Structure 1
Amino acid sequence: TLLTRKAFGDENARWDTWRICQYNEILSFYGLCYWYTWQVSILGLGPIWQSKNEKLQIRAAQHLEDGAIFAFGLSEREHGADIYSTSMKLIPQPDGTYKALGEKYYIGNGNKAEMVSTFGKITDSEGNLKKKTSTKDKEDYVWFVANYHNDSYDCKKNVVATQNYVANYALNNYPITEQEILSKGQDAWDACLNTINVGKFNLGWASIGICTHAFYEALDHAANRVLFDHYVTDFTHIKQYFVEAYIRLISMK
């Protein structure tokens, strides 16, 4: 309900940025690891909801109803999130399909996401990337969907030592049809930037949740400590600190 577009969900379903931000704050209040899976799913859904491929949108809505998670396959080890330099290839085949070839790195939920939105470039039939003469040339960019169940999807490892799974995955001649393509060209480029703008905004709300938790913990601790026959929260300078901290939290929002 929280992440499903109105056209594809129940009566309460809508993509409401304010509501999403509030939920970001709640999840991160209890722990950043609880928030992370949700946050990455937002990123993974970005190219899907901006797509003109309604069949994939219907599939995404059903996966959300079933409680699935999503992933955003943009970053690469060699290039980071430099979308100009992405080396993931989508190679055209004689029968009109494609083979995806390349790796992505630091991709949250990459081990269990039912739909991994993956960014790449369409090559020639030999797998050669187009030589660009201008950064305005967006013709070969593409978003497509992969799934970890496929034998050609190699989830190589978790690149972080936390309870989150931040994957390094490879697509080894992964078969892709037009039905798995979300967007191409300028639309793909725009979906990439728009998703980052919307999704990464959530990082700020995660910080608010973490800081709010720290504020509550500090207040609870101080209110139960006694110094010189007074609760710590009775001291004027302590009151000032807490008022200032609270105002900062409100200002962050």
Structure 2
Amino acid sequence: MILLNPKTENFEHLDSQSRQLLKKTVQWFETKGKEKLKHDDHHRVWYSDFIEFVKKEKLFATFLTPAAEGDGETRWDTYRNCALNEILGFYGLAYWYMWQVTILGLGPIWMSSNKSIKEKTADLLQNGGIFAFGLSEKEHGADIYSTEMSLIPQNDGTYLAKGSKYYIGNANEAALVSTFGKISETDDYVFFVVESNHEKFDCVRNVVNSQTYVAEYVLNDYPITEKDILAKGKDAWDMSLNTVNVGKYNLGWASIGICTHAFYEALNHASHRRLFDHYVTDFTHIKQLFIDAFTRLTAMKLFALRASDYMRSASIDDRRYLLYNPMVKMRVTSQGEEVIDLLWDVIAAKGFEKDMYFEMAVRDIRALPKLEGTV
């Protein structure tokens, strides 16, 4: 079956190292169990236990360090990243979000020509670091034309960073935060990195009521040198757009993971529930709802897989990914909402119960069409 079943999936389409890491990830979630996952979700518990697992198994280091920057055991491979996207979405969007924001934070770094920052980043990943992407601002959202974050040149050739960013995931504990702004004297765009534990980095608050940390942060005359700068001018602008282009594709896979878990839970409930001397799954309209949900979910995954082919084959002459990538972000995620609605019509009030995965799914599925730009 094309849908993910974590208990039987062997990931035979991937290499041995990837299979091993994905199976370990599944086992970590299965060992933690749904009860503890739901407890941590309800009590908004920061996922330090998962970060420790990521560090121990070098999960992000292996999956998110390009081969040219790694130790021979790493590569950035969008195709296999799809599998981890799906697994993390399957067990809880909060865990996927921490991975997703790390991908966004790494984008400008790997695209840059700053060799020292790349070496530092590879080392931080090996030691379990997570990353953040400081693009949006409270008053301007993702209108990067209007960014107010500034690098103010100093007489000694350094800069002071001054300004704030808003809705920045992982910024509470990110090893590095890739930050977008302008050079005050020239208005040129600039991308630079800051450390979240620096005394001039003020993590103001978590702006959401969730176990994820989506920060408002302020740079109060944070000292920046040329060694901290990833790019200036058009290169910095292109980095911002290309990072979002790469990252937004992942949202479709998170939606697929959520819908798959919700599908199994709904089917399990309906097939064991008897009403009017029939199992719920015997009713014709229920069969139709499940068939519709399954068909849409299967199409979501097939379309996203085809898009991954186009992203892998992308070149100056093959630009099909420019159409398929945003379609995964837009259409797959909105179809995910449709799938959850269909399944909710099957299980009805059961979908509100606090012990059900479904209760998280109906909340989280709505977020995905709205992240990294709305539909």
Provide the TM-score with structure 1 as the length reference.
Answer: 0.91
Task: Tell me the secondary structure at the aligned position of residue 201 of structure 1.
Answer: helix
1:157 aligns with 2:205: yes
Cα distance in 1 for partners of 2:75, 2:139 equals: 37
- CA apart distance, 1:194: 0.2
2:256 to 202, 208, 217: 208
Gaps (5+ residues) in structure 1? 131-139
Q: Distance in 2 between matches of 1:96 and 1:10?
A: 34
Match of 1:246 in 2: 294
Mapped to 2, the partners of 1:239 and 1:158 lie a distance apart of 43
Secondary structure at the residue paired with 1:171? strand
Name the amino acid aligned to 1:171.
Answer: L
Q: After superposition, what is the alpha-carbon deviation per residue over 1:169-198, rounded to whole angstroms, capped at 9, x for unaligned?
A: 111110001111111111101100000111
Partner of residue 72 from structure 1, selected from 124, 130, 133: 133
Q: Take 2:123 and 2:272, find their aligned partners in 1: how far apart are those partners?
A: 49
Letter of the 1:238 partner, please give it.
Answer: I
Cα distance in 2, alignment partners of residues 154 and 89 from structure 1: 16
2:102 pairs with 1:54: no
Identity of aligned residues (%): 67
Mapping for residues 187-206 of structure 1, pairs under 5 Å: 187-206=235-254
Gaps of 5+ in 2: 1-61, 302-375
Describe the superposition over 1:200-245 as per-residue Cα deviations: whole angstroms up to 9, x where unpaired. 2211211111111111110110111123444332344433322221
Instruction: Spell out structure 1 runs of 4+ moving beyond 4 A.
Output: none
Aligned-pair CA distance for 1:144: 0.2
User: How far apart are the structure 2 equivalents of 1:237 and 1:111?
Assistant: 48
In structure 2, which of residues 147, 151, 163 is the aligned counterpart of residue 90 of structure 1? 151
Give 1:162 deviation, angstroms: 0.9
Amino acid at match of 1:99: L
What is the number of equivalent residue pairs in this alignment? 240
Partner Cα separation in structure 1 for residue 148 and residue 63 of structure 2: 33
Q: Which moved more, 1:201-210 or 1:225-234?
A: 225-234
After TM superposition, list the pairs within 5 Å mapping 1:25-174 onto structure 2: 25-124=86-185, 130=187, 140-174=188-222
Structure 1 residue 76: Cα displacement: 0.5
Q: Return the alpha-carbon distance in structure 1 between the equivalents of residues 292 and 117 of structure 2.
A: 48
> Which of the pair is proportionally richer in strand?
1
* Rounded Cα–Cα distance in structure 2 between residues aligned with 1:93 and 1:68: 31
Distance across 1 between alignment mates of 2:133 and 2:245: 13
Question: Matches of 1:10 and 1:229 in 2, distance apart?
Answer: 62
Aligned-residue RMSD, C-alpha:
1.4
Distance 1:40 1:220 in 2: 33
**Are residues 1:22 and 2:22 paired?**
no
Compute the TM-score of the two structures, normalised by the length of structure 2. Answer: 0.62
Q: Which has the bigger relative contact order, CA under 8 A and spacing at least 6?
A: 1
1:11-67 deviations in whole A, cap 9, x for unaligned? 341111122222111101111111111111010001001000111111111111111
- What is the CA–CA distance in structure 2 between the aligned matches of 1:57 and 1:101, rounded to whole Å? 24
Q: Call closer, same or farther: CA 1:220–1:12 in 2, change over 3 Å.
A: farther
Find the aligned partners of 1:238 and 1:173 in 2 and give their Cα distance: 60
Residue 184 of structure 1 corresponds to: 232
Tell me the equivalent position of 1:225.
273
More helix by share: 2
* Residue 282 of structure 2 is aligned to residue 234 of structure 1: yes
The alpha carbon displacement at 1:68 in A equals: 0.9
Aligned to 2:360: none
What one-letter code is carried by the residue in structure 2 that aligns with 1:162?
A: S
Distance in 2 separating the partners of 1:222 and 1:93: 67
Amino acid at match of 2:120: R
1:5 to 66, 72, 85: 66
